[in-house]
Structure 1
Amino acid sequence: MNEAGAADFAHIAMALHGADGVGATLDRIAELARATVDCDMCGVMVVHKGKRVETAAVTSELVRRADELQIEVGEGPCLQAIEAQSVFIIADTMTEDRWPVWSRAVVDLGVRSVLSIRLFTRQQTIGSLNLYSAQPNHFTPADAAIGGIFAGHASVALAAAQTESGLREAMESRHLIGLAQGILMERFDLDQEQAFAVLRRYSQDRNIKLRSVAQHVVQERALPE
């Protein structure tokens, strides 16, 4: 990579890390990927707990529909990039034979070529970056190489945003639980440990998240019915 290219990716990395929160980071990944790798549309698929896959950011609703079709028919390059931990190029959906059902379906949407790249860190597979073109034979090995570098920056930025979000949520949950404990301690003359035990018992008996029980206590000044 030449100096100009390195500088471009340095700016991209700064822009990705500068987004505020997971949602904003996902949107910025899609927008910058479209600008960095020449394509018509772009989307980001993410993997949730239980291996549930979701299209989390798109530059066009057509991308969302194309991704939904992959989930519906159980095949496609975006899913395969996640599962096989690789990069896939479809030169022409009209003649693609690795995922024939999905490929023929998206022809009707105007999708003719696709580049799908896994998003991952050493610790986890995050999802896939998926670029679409209305022209057949649009994506080249050079596009895949540039896309791979971009995906590396995007993966790090998204993983950092997810970690920060998780830490923030954990802190907010602890604060909420602490408030609920204080309410129960005052109302029922309990100590801190007893108040937490009450919250935990309600959570377990009713199969409700502890945070949700605490939130109810704080909002209603009473335990859930």
Structure 2
Amino acid sequence: MSTDQTTTMSTSLAIADAMAEVARTINAPRTVEEALSLVVDAARDTVPGIDHASVTVTVKGGYQTWAATGDLACRADDLQYELDEGPCVDALKAETFMQVDELPDDRRWPRYAPRAADLGIRSQLAFPLYTNTGPLGGLNLYATETEVLDADTRHIAELFAAHAALALGKAREEQSLNTALASRKTIGQAIGITQERFGIDEERAFQFLVRVSQTSNIKLREVAAELVHQSNERCDNA
């Protein structure tokens, strides 16, 4: 077996091991931040030419970094959020992959490129993360050398982006479910309070809350939460 074949086999085994470890995190009982941290660490250690990695999550009003391999990745992320430009931001806005082979000379981001170069970043990859429910965030990969991003780099990075999207999508689904269950519980409590206060049955109590929601143009769960809060305050002051 030639040296090149041995190197290729070793690389393939390393990638397979890393992907298996990341796959195990998807359904493991851990937080989404822990799962994403394993993804970015594995990506940094496995994707050829990559030195730093992070995951950006879309939130109301902007973006947040939920996992990063170190301070440099966090600073590069924050710089793009602050300037509202750069491969990370553009990949999220356009929902498309971005590759920058020589960042210091790239004119697409006149404010970000020179400041990123000052941080030591020379090349960058950015992948949008999305599921069938829509965009969730992005995987950012940073290199401290130019011309190190080839087809193999992109292909392997795409695998890690897919795993990051799965982990993030699972977390969002669980968050939505927990929110729905909490809202259902609160609405049930509010119905009970309304029944007791007005001496009406469950159906009429629910319709009462719905009418309050419609009249005030406030979501039903918020009306219910306020009613429960007021009831708890009265109990505390009794």
- TM-score of the superposition, structure 2-length normalised? 0.76
> Which of 83, 95, 101 pairs up with 1:91?
101
Q: Is the Cα–Cα contact under 8 Å of residues 17 and 25 in structure 1 kept in the other structure?
A: no
Q: Deviations over 1:27-51 (max 9, x none)?
A: 44333333333633322123357xx
Give 1:66 deviation, angstroms. 2.6
> Which of 57, 63, 67 pairs up with 1:54?
63
Which residue in the other structure is 1:145 paired with? 155
Stretches of 4+ moved more than 6 A in 1? Answer: none
Q: Is the Cα–Cα contact under 8 Å of residues 22 and 38 in structure 2 kept in the other structure?
A: no
Which residue in the other structure is 1:130 paired with? 140
Which residue in the other structure is 2:204 paired with? 194
Distance, in Å, in 2 between the alignment partners of 1:206 and 1:35 is: 54
Q: 1:31 to 1:183 in 2, by over 3 A?
A: farther
Give 1:178 deviation, angstroms. 0.5
Which residue in the other structure is 1:101 paired with? 111
Which residue in the other structure is 2:73 paired with? 63
Larger radius of gyration: 2
SS in 1 for 2:105: coil
Distance, in Å, in 2 between the alignment partners of 1:222 and 1:204 is: 24
> Which of 156, 163, 173 pairs up with 2:173?
163
Distance, in Å, in 2 between the alignment partners of 1:151 and 1:14 is: 15
Q: Deviations over 1:95-134 (max 9, x none)?
A: 1223232111222333222111221234422221001233
Q: 1:207 to 1:56 in 2, by over 3 A?
A: farther
Give 1:145 deviation, angstroms. 1.3
Aligned residues: 221
Distance, in Å, in 1 between the alignment partners of 2:194 and 2:33 is: 35
Distance, in Å, in 1 between the alignment partners of 2:211 and 2:78 is: 40
Distance, in Å, in 2 between the alignment partners of 1:19 and 1:134 is: 34
Which residue in the other structure is 1:34 paired with? 44
Identity, % of aligned positions: 36
Q: Is the Cα–Cα contact under 8 Å of residues 45 and 53 in structure 1 kept in the other structure?
A: no
Amino acid at match of 1:221: S
Which residue in the other structure is 1:215 paired with? 225
Root mean square deviation, CA, Å: 3.0
Structure 1: stretches of 5+ with no match in the other structure: none
Distance, in Å, in 2 between the alignment partners of 1:20 and 1:187 is: 43
Q: 1:202 to 1:62 in 2, by over 3 A?
A: farther
SS in 1 for 2:145: coil
Q: Is the Cα–Cα contact under 8 Å of residues 19 and 25 in structure 1 kept in the other structure?
A: no
Distance, in Å, in 2 between the alignment partners of 1:94 and 1:34 is: 21
Distance, in Å, in 2 between the alignment partners of 1:8 and 1:121 is: 22
Distance, in Å, in 2 between the alignment partners of 1:190 and 1:34 is: 62
Q: Is the Cα–Cα contact under 8 Å of residues 66 and 106 in structure 1 kept in the other structure?
A: yes
Q: Is the Cα–Cα contact under 8 Å of residues 99 and 126 in structure 2 kept in the other structure?
A: yes
SS in 2 for 1:168: helix
Give 1:62 deviation, angstroms. 4.2
Amino acid at match of 2:195: M
